[in-house]
């Protein structure tokens, strides 16, 4: 005998709660387009002074002027968790002192030309809580 799948629902959260969830996490994904293909790169991040600072294994030249950053924590078994997406203008951090600080603060995957630090100024923040629907 099998158990029917649980009914799941998504509930939109406020921008303040979405930022709170984002701030409590440190691992996400940078999403951008390169050569007409969607590229997803893992990233570590920190939320400081109303901006998202991310360290990702992507070439600096590939970072678009407007970037999308996605963070989530979903437990597959029970189907609960949350997801947050931030979109806005992005710039590569080129100041050597600032870059040095963030390289110490954020662990990376690679070192060299594909180890990029970027600053994302959020214009839109959307978040959802994933939960079981009440029967």
Domain membership flag for residue 35 = yes
Residue 5: how many other CB atoms lie within 10 Å = 7
Domain extent for 107 = 8-39+49-132
CA–CA separation, 115 and 108 (whole Å): 7
Residue in 40, 55, 49, 134 with CA at minimum distance from that of residue 85: 40
Q: Which DSSP string do the residues of 75-98 spell out, in sequence order?
A: ETTTTEEEEEEEEEEEEE---HHH
Domain membership flag for residue 28 = yes
List 102's β-bridge partners, or say none. none
What would the pLDDT profile of 7-36 be if each residue is shown by its tens digit? 778 889 998 899 999 888 889 999 988 888
The whole model's pTM is what?
A: 0.84
Predicted confidence band of residue 2 (pLDDT cuts 50, 70, 90): low
- The C-alpha angle 36, 41, 45, rounded to 5 degrees, equals 135
Domain membership flag for residue 3 = no
Domain of 18: which CATH number? 2.30.110.10
CA–CA separation, 43 and 48 (whole Å): 16
Domain membership flag for residue 66 = yes
Domain membership flag for residue 44 = no
Domain membership flag for residue 15 = yes
What domain count does the chain have? 1
pLDDT (average), residues 78-83 = 84
Select the more confidently predicted residue: 135 or 6.
6
**Helix then strand then coil, % of the chain, to nearest 5:** 15, 50, 30
Domain membership flag for residue 60 = yes
- Secondary structure class of 62 (helix, strand, coil): helix
Domain membership flag for residue 53 = yes
- Secondary structure class of 78 (helix, strand, coil): coil
Question: Would you state the structure tokens that stand for residue 106, as one six-digit string?
Answer: 């954020």
H/E run at residue 19: helix 15-24
What would the pLDDT profile of 38-57 be if each residue is shown by its tens digit? 999 999 999 988 899 999 98
């Amino acid at each position: 005998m099998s158990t029917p799948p649980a009914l799941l629902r998504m509930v939109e959260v406020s921008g303040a709660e979405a930022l709170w969830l984002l701030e409590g996490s440190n691992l996400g994904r940078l999403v951008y387009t390169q050569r007409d293909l969607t590229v997803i790169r893992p990233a570590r991040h920190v939320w400081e002074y109303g901006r998202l600072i991310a360290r990702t294994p992507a070439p600096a030249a590939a970072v678009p002027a407007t970037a999308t950053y996605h963070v989530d924590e979903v437990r597959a078994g029970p189907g609960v968790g949350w997801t947050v997406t931030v979109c806005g203008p992005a710039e590569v951090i080129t100041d050597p002192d600032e870059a040095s600080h963030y390289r110490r603060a954020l662990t990376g995957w690679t070192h060299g030309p594909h180890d990029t630090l970027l600053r994302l100024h959020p214009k839109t923040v959307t978040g959802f809580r994933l939960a079981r629907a009440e029967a």
